[in-house]
Amino acid sequence: MTTITIPKKITKGEELIIIPRKEYEGFLRYRLKEYEELTLTPFQKRRLQKARGNLAKGKYLTIHELKSKLGIKN
């Protein structure tokens, strides 16, 4: 893929990169897939509500506590 970088001096503080249109369109398609909304099942909705309730009550483990309980050293 051919790219051209335009320095900040020419663009008044913003560095710009020029790429071919097909590459750009592929990038946009990728980004759109990344932000698609998920539809939760009723079970997932209940679990999410329960998790949010537990979080609000302070019933959770930090990542360090979880690693300690699982015996993970890193």
For the cut 90, the answer to whether the pLDDT of residue 29 exceeds it is no
What pLDDT does 11 receive? 78
What pLDDT does 32 receive? 80
Q: Are residues 49 and 72 in the same domain?
A: yes
For 12, the domain range is 4-34
Q: Are residues 45 and 71 in the same domain?
A: yes
In one-letter notation, the amino acid at residue 6 is I
Q: What does the pLDDT look like over 31-49, one tens digit per residue? A: 887 777 778 999 999 999 9
Which is more confident, 63 or 8? 63
> Mean pLDDT throughout 14-27?
87
Total domains, the chain: 2
Q: Are residues 42 and 29 in the same domain?
A: no
> Can you give the three-state secondary structure of the chain, one letter per residue?
CCCEEECCCCCCCCCEEECCHHHHHHHHHHHHHHCCCCCCCHHHHHHHHHHHHHHHHCCCCCHHHHHHHHCCCC
Q: Are residues 29 and 44 in the same domain?
A: no
